[in-house]
Structure formats: structure tokens, C-alpha cells
Amino acid sequence: MARARKVTISTDVHGHTAGWSETLGAPPATPTPDPTAAAFFDVDNTMMQGASIYWFARGLAARKYFTTGDLARFAWQQAKFRLLATEHAGDMSQAKEAALAFVQGWRVDDVERLAEEIFDELMAPRIWAGTRRLAQRHLDAGERVWLVSAAPVEIGRVIAARLGLTGAIGTVAEVVDGAYTGRLAGDLMHGPAKAEAITQLAGVEGLDLGRCTAYSDSANDLPMLSIVGHPVAVNPDPALLRQARQHGWAVRDFRTGRRAVKIAVPSTAAAGLVAGAVTAGLALHRRRHRAG
């Protein structure tokens, strides 16, 4: 026969519950936070549907920083470049420098303000609820959570702040006196650069990568996934799904049916196209503004 449990509930002077205890069994203990464990989330198609730079560009277009025609024309030019160019080191170096040329002279606080507005309007509704829950589990366990994205770090910081995460790792533009110079301060945060940045952060924060978790949708992030003890494929592309199955990694897919196919478009082709369109479109906007 099971032994009866005696539960004592204490109340304050107003009759409100102040605490409780029982003679047999204690309330579930809160897990002790592990200061050496953390989680790293890719952004595009992992934390959100589509690419953050795509939605950022959409927000800029809505604010008349460039026209729809400009967007389409420069997108086509960028498409030809992506189809014909090979990603040798020299080509990528030039592309990286061109990618941020349009922000030359812009104030950092202006870009951050735009990123906040556009996140609330266009990005927030596209955060994957399932991935957001995964991040929250790490937070609830007392772990720190960082976003890791090739997008400008300002966009990553806004997303992290809005979601209550620890911070963001992203592509960093050179800043002098609060304004962008139009050059990168380091590498584009892509592929191996993500793994290098996470390794450096782990050294500073005292993290044990073997106890950390990383989430991504793309095989481009295999370097990042491979350095942690708990890699997870989220909404994986075919190449990453093959790797995940081969290595026995966890897989989480929050897409359904035809919707998954549609979402893949802005996160891959259109993301790259719009990135080029933003560069040229904003440059054109600046010239028109100065001429007026």
C-alpha cells in the first residue's frame, strides 16, 4: 500500500499561499545551469522563414529607398553573376567588399533603427515557432543562446534582442565615428568563418564546445555543426539531410508540404539576388537624392 503524503501549505496574513512542503518527496529541482554549455542558431530558414536580408530589402523598398523596377533589374544582374562566376578566393573577396559598399557614410544608429522597424513589420511573423521553442528550452536551462548569420551583425542583434536571446554573431562592417566606411572589418560570416567565430567566442566565454548545440538548415554550415557536441539539422536542405542521417544527427523540420518548397525560394536564390540589388539600388537612391 502506498504511503500517504502529508502536505503543508503555508499562507501569509492575507491568506495568500506563501510556500509548501511535504514529508515525502520534494518539488522537482530546477536544473543547475551549465555555464559551459550554449546554443548557436543559424538565422535564414533556421530561425526564420526565408532570408533576413531579403526581408530587410523588402522593408527598404517599401520605404522608397529604391523602386521595384530597380530591384528586379539589379536582381537579374546579380543572377547572371551567380550563374557565371566561380567562387574563387579573389571573386569572393571582391563580392564581400561590394556587398557593404552601399552603406558608406550611413550612420550605424540609422541602420539599427531601420532594422528594428523592418523586423517588427516583416520578420517577426516569419520566425519559426518550433525553432523559437528550441531556443527557449536552452534559455530555460540557463544556457546562453547566440544567433550566427552571414547577415550584417546589426540585423542579427535586433533579432536576438527581440527574441530575448543572448546576442548575435554576424558580418561586421567597418565603422569610423559612428558611420560605415563601406568596407568589411573581417570576413563574411559564412561557412568556416562561423566555426572560427564560435570557437573564439567559446574561448572568451569559457564554453565547452562538446557540451554546446548548433542548429542550421544548410550544408554550408557543416563546419559550425561539426565543432559542437550536439549538431541539429533544422528544415535541412538535401545535402545537410544526407549528412545528418549519415552521422546520426538530430533533425527537426517545421515545414509542411508545398509550403516548404515555396519558403526555400527567398532563402536561397532570392536572398542572393536581393543582396546584390540592395547594393546597387541604395547607391542609385543616394545619387538621385544628391541630384535632387
Give me the active site residues, please.
Answer: 42, 44
- Roughly how many angstroms between the first and final C-alpha of the chain, as a whole number? 89
Torsion of the alpha carbons at 125, 130, 133 and 135, rounded to the nearest 10: -90
Residue with cell 548545440: 213
Q: Rounded to whole angstroms, how far apart are CA atoms 229 and 222?
A: 13
- Other C-beta atoms closer than 10 Å to the C-beta of 110 total 13
Q: How far apart are CA 137 and CA 55, in angstroms?
A: 27
The x, y and z cell numbers of residue 245, run together, are 542521417
Q: How far apart are CA 240 and CA 234, in angstroms?
A: 9
Q: Given the C-alpha cell 520605404, which residue does it identify?
A: 63
Residue entry with cell 532563402: 267
Angle, CA of 207, 40 and 55, to the nearest 5°: 150
- Give the closest residue to 152 by CA, choosing from 181, 126, 184, 125: 184
Q: Which residues contact 7 (CB under 8 A, 6 or more apart)?
A: 20, 21, 22
